[in-house]
Amino acid sequence: MKLTEQEKCIYGNSVQVVAREDDCTIYTREDETGTARMTCYRVFPGIDLVYNDIHMQSSGMKPAMHGNFLEINHCREGRAECECGDQFYYITAGDLSIQQRKDCSHASYYPLSHYHGISILIDADHSPMCLSCFLKDVNVQPTTLIQKFCKNEAGYVVRSQPRLTHIFSELYTVPESIRKGYFKVKILELLLFLSSMSLDDDMVRERSYSGNQVTLAKDAGRYLAQHMDRRVTIDELAEQFYVSPTQLKNSFKGVYGVSIYAYTRSQKMQAAACALRQTDDTVMQIAGRYGYENPSKFAKAFKDVLGVTPNEYRNTSE
């Protein structure tokens, strides 16, 4: 099915439409880093709710959106990058990001190649000027929310809190029979909550990372991916990028949310799991491919990450 021009701006040219109904469209994207599936519902004119199931590291570059768009992202699982001005923030389970997408190219990045969450995309130029037309006491204007949360087009991050958990937890388990009406109620509830929320700019800045820190962490991540056949020490990695071990560890933890050791082990075990599914290589051969000469250590690392031994995993995957 053919993409509309607006769909190209929102999701990029690389997505495919796999299903389209009156109020729901399902998109998929696939590249060398993995796959993504976005299930989009039109809730109000100019307001969409999207379920994101991401198993890739980068969504690719999306064209500039010409208009006045507000994007609200809630993370249920995983980790996602938010670029706000010249700073980078990372949302994890329970967090919310609020960003304006306007007149600039945009790409999404998921450091752990794993992300599940909900996005609410508001086209302020085509959505109702005030949502009181749907519910009398909901005096919320999308343009006012943009002015509140996106000063100087920077954006905002709301860390996990019980009220947000309450609003979104029910959206992940909506019975299909009440879906249309329930989406409307929950979006109105969310926007009303955001309109009354006080901002704490200092709290957000405390968890921000500079472009240089982010570049260092991603370069280190790519280096580790290229050398999964052996153990790369932190000192070696720091020397490779001419930084101190402390600077490297802090930048890496900021972007990926885990230590270099935990990230490397997880990536190796996920790659080993793929090899167990797709090849007939022995467990010993696969262990050696990822720098493990001791099969017992490999089996323990594999079970720590995936919950089962390599042999159990292969048997259940057949």
Half-sphere exposure of 175 (CA within 13 A, CB side): 2
Query: What's the fold here for domain 210-317?
Result: Arc Repressor Mutant, subunit A (1.10.10)
Structure token pair of residue 215: 């570049």
- Give Cα separations from 11 to 5, 52, 59, 76, 88 (angstroms): 10, 12, 8, 20, 21
Query: Is 166 buried (19+), middle (13-18) or exposed (0-12) by CB count in 10 A?
Result: exposed
Nearest 5°: the CA angle 129, 134, 137 is: 90
Q: What stretch of H or E contains 58?
A: strand 58-62
Classify residue 2 by its DSSP letter: P
- Give residue for tokens 């968890």: 207
Does this model's pTM top 0.75? My answer is yes
Are 15 and 7 in contact, with CB atoms under 8 Å apart?
yes
Q: Do domains 5-205 and 210-317 have the same CATH topology?
A: no
Each residue's pLDDT, cut to its tens digit, for the chain (318 residues) gives 777 767 777 777 778 888 988 889 999 988 877 899 999 999 988 899 999 999 988 766 565 566 678 899 999 999 999 887 678 889 999 999 988 876 555 668 899 989 999 999 988 887 766 665 555 566 677 777 888 888 766 678 888 888 889 899 989 988 888 888 899 889 888 988 888 888 775 555 557 899 999 999 999 999 999 999 888 999 999 999 999 999 999 999 999 999 999 999 999 999 999 899 889 899 999 999 999 988 899 999 999 999 999 999 988 866
| Residues in CB range of 19: below 8 A, 6 or more apart | 25, 26
CATH number of 5-205: 2.60.120.10
Nearest of 74, 67, 159 to residue 120 by alpha carbon = 74
Structure token pair of residue 34: 């993995």
Backbone angles phi, psi at 58, to 5 degrees: -135, 140
Backbone angles phi, psi at 60, to 5 degrees: 85, 165
To 10 degrees, what angle do helices 260-278 and 295-306 make? 100
Classify residue 183 by its DSSP letter: H
Pairwise CA distance, residues 224 & 242, whole Å? 16
Where do the structural domains in the chain lie, given as residue ranges? Answer: 5-205, 210-317
